[in-house]
Amino acid sequence: QLRLVESGGGQVQPGGSLRLSCAASGFPLDTLTIGWFRQAPGKEREGVSCITSTKSRIQYADSVKGRFTISRDNAKNMVYLQMNSLKFEDTGVYYCGAGWDRYLDICTGVPREGPYGDWGPGTQVTVAS
């Protein structure tokens, strides 16, 4: 059974950087698309970025384009989210989710929760001065 665990969150000043990691265990990642989502206090969870197993599709929300970079290492069963130039509005709990590559509509745009069936518990990111 697939298990996902996020790490790397913390508190950072505006303009700072963090690198989030999503570690998978119990199932190989090489057939799975991974998406990063976040949920700010009082708001719904929103898609941030996604990457298919072969990296053939990579998508970002407009709000993070040019600042965040998603990457993966299938051999290590890891997916990363490098977050630079962080802003107050990037604060929230960040989750990684896994969905099958074979879903035709997965990671074709800003990620939606629907195709992702497995989730980690999340890691808190706080941007504060």
CA atoms lying within 13 Å on the CB side of residue 83: 34
What is the reported pLDDT for 77? Answer: 96
Which residues are within 8 A (CB) of 105 and not within 5 positions of it... i.e. 6 or more apart? 115
The mean pLDDT values, 10 residues at a time, for the chain of 129 residues are 97 98 94 97 96 96 98 97 98 97 89 94 97
What is the reported pLDDT for 57? Answer: 95
